[in-house]
């Protein structure tokens, strides 16, 4: 995805998660909402800086990645490693104290509520966080764990094991309090319920057999901004979304979809 298109898509994603999560029935954002989110949200400035960092590395602009990384840390108190993948519209609702390291993968519209760590536990790998996850303030996610789509992680939780889609988890170590299927369905369910195309694509896909696919292809390349959310697992199937395992085609943010 080109830089400009990526920035526009990110603005729609941040607008969608600004006041609630997609599964709480947040309305599909209009162009005006995306513009406002881009102009007023500190988190959007951080995300945009990350997109410029990605572009600077792609284009081999000497020093630019380093300068932008320092900009994020000095002005917004956030550290994001070079290898980290950020999905569309990741929302840093509060930027202070966030550290995301290694090759952690953060899905589309994941919402950080501040002072979070996403990193390794003991040099054993980094988390994969699926789309539409909400990470409560102070929560830490450590090690090679997968956080299922739409999970909600409670304030100050320390997550060191996988969480299923739609899980609400809290504590140290974090335990699942309950599963909320509508949260597991995320933004696709909202769009389908409204009879619309999904306004935004996903980042970390779920394969039709229910297994999680981190989007890394056989050749080791990861399609940037790839937008595919396929699912035939019980959580999504239960409410009729993607029960046949069909893949939702990538769709652009579209004011007409609102």
Ligand X SMILES: CC(C)(COP(=O)(O)OP(=O)(O)OC[C@H]1O[C@@H](n2cnc3c(N)ncnc32)[C@H](O)[C@@H]1OP(=O)(O)O)[C@@H](O)C(=O)NCCC(=O)NCCS
Minimum Å distance from CB 18 to ligand X?
Answer: 13
Q: Rounded to whole angstroms, what are the CA distances from 30 to 13, 112, 170, 257?
A: 11, 23, 34, 8
Pick the closer one to ligand X by CB: 7 or 137. 137
Nearest distance in Å: CB 43, ligand X: 12
Beta carbon nearer to ligand X, 61 or 137 = 137
For the CB of residue 256, give the shortest distance to ligand X in the complex, in Å.
33
The answer to whether the CB of 88 falls within 8 A of the CB of 224 is no
**Least distance to ligand X from the beta carbon of 90, Å?**
16
Using CA atoms, how far residue 138 sits from 41, 114, 199, 215, 231, in Å, is 20, 6, 30, 28, 31
Distance from C-alpha of 15 to C-alpha of 13, rounded to nearest angstrom: 5
CB of 73 to ligand X, least distance (A): 21
Cβ closest to ligand X, residue 113 vs residue 185: 113
Nearest residue to 54 via CA among 89, 83, 96, 76: 83
Binding site for ligand X (CB under 6 A): 94, 113-114, 136-137, 152, 154-156, 168, 170-171, 177
We find the least distance from the C-beta atom of residue 116 to ligand X, in angstroms, to be: 9
Tokens for 200, please give them: 């935004």
By beta carbon distance, the residue nearest ligand X is 154
3-state secondary structure of 65: helix
Q: Considering beta carbons, is residue 94 or 206 the nearer one to ligand X?
A: 94
Residue number, 70 or 172, with CB nearest to ligand X: 172
Q: Smallest distance, Å, CB 129 to ligand X? A: 15
Task: Name which of 171 and 223 has its Cβ closer to ligand X.
Answer: 171
133 within 8 A of 147, measured Cβ to Cβ: yes
Q: Which is nearer to ligand X, 90 or 230 (CB)?
A: 90
User: Can you list the pairs that 242-250 forms with residues at least 24 positions away whose Cβ atoms lie under 8 Å?
Assistant: 242/188, 245/208, 247/208, 248/188, 248/198, 248/201, 248/202, 249/197, 250/201, 250/226
Residue entry with tokens 């396929």:
230
């Amino acid at each position: 995805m080109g830089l400009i298109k990526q920035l526009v898509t990110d603005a729609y994603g941040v607008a969608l998660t600004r006041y609630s999560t997609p599964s709480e029935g947040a309305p599909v954002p209009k162009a005006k909402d995306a513009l406002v989110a881009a102009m007023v949200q500190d988190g959007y400035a951080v995300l945009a800086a990350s997109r410029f960092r990605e572009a600077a590395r792609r284009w081999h602009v000497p020093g630019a990645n380093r300068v932008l990384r320092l900009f994020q840390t000095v002005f917004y108190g956030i550290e994001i490693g070079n290898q980290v993948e950020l999905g569309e519209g990741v929302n840093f609702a509060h930027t202070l104290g966030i550290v995301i390291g290694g090759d952690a993968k953060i899905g589309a519209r994941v919402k950080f509520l501040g002072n979070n760590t996403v990193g390794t536990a003991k040099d054993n790998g980094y988390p994969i966080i699926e789309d539409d996850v909400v990470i409560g303030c102070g929560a830490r996610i450590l090690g090679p764990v997968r956080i299922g789509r739409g999970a909600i992680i409670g304030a100050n939780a320390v997550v060191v094991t996988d969480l299923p889609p739609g899980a609400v988890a809290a504590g140290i170590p974090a335990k699942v309090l309950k599963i909320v299927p509508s949260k597991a369905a995320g933004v696709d369910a909202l769009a389908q319920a409204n009879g619309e195309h999904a306004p935004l694509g996903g980042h970390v896909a779920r394969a039709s057999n229910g297994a999680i696919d981190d989007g890394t292809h056989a050749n080791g390349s990861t399609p940037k901004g790839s937008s595919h959310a396929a699912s035939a697992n019980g959580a999504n199937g239960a409410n009729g979304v993607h029960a046949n395992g069909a893949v939702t085609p990538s769709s652009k943010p579209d004011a007409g979809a609102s």
